[in-house]
Amino acid sequence: MSFDRSRKPTWRQGYRYQYEPAQKGHVLLYPEGMIKLNDSAALIGGLIDGERDVAAIIAELDRQFPGVPELGDDIDQFMEVARAEHWITLA
């Protein structure tokens, strides 16, 4: 089954994506703690705004990083993990 790229991800209530100088990177803050995101996840996370659908996020990152093989599949995988971990909701 392929991922539905027409869905719009948004951070769940209580979760906040931000740059954390002490961590020297982007993190996802939530009531119980913090998740440090790797560089790829941080790039995706920066585009999650509740307005863009997954296809638009893929298109934007493809524009920034043309020719990256399997970019769309990697973003789909991030969305699946983020949904499974309850970081995001998909409308």
Report pLDDT digits (tens) over 23-46: 999 999 999 999 999 999 999 999
Residue with structure tokens 């119980």? 32
First-last CA distance in the chain:
18
Mean pLDDT of the chain: 95
The whole model's pTM is what? 0.92
- In this predicted structure, what is the pLDDT of residue 1? 45
Confidence of residue 20 (pLDDT cuts 50, 70, 90): very high
CB-hemisphere CA count at 13 Å for 11? 16
What secondary structure letter does DSSP report for 84? H
Q: Which domains does the chain have, with CATH numbers?
A: 10-85 (1.10.10.1150)
Torsion of CA 42, 61, 56, 63, to 10 degrees: 160
Given a cut of 70, whether residue 2 has pLDDT beyond it is no
CA-nearest of 7, 6, 5 to 72 is: 5
What is the percent of the chain where pLDDT is above 90? 97
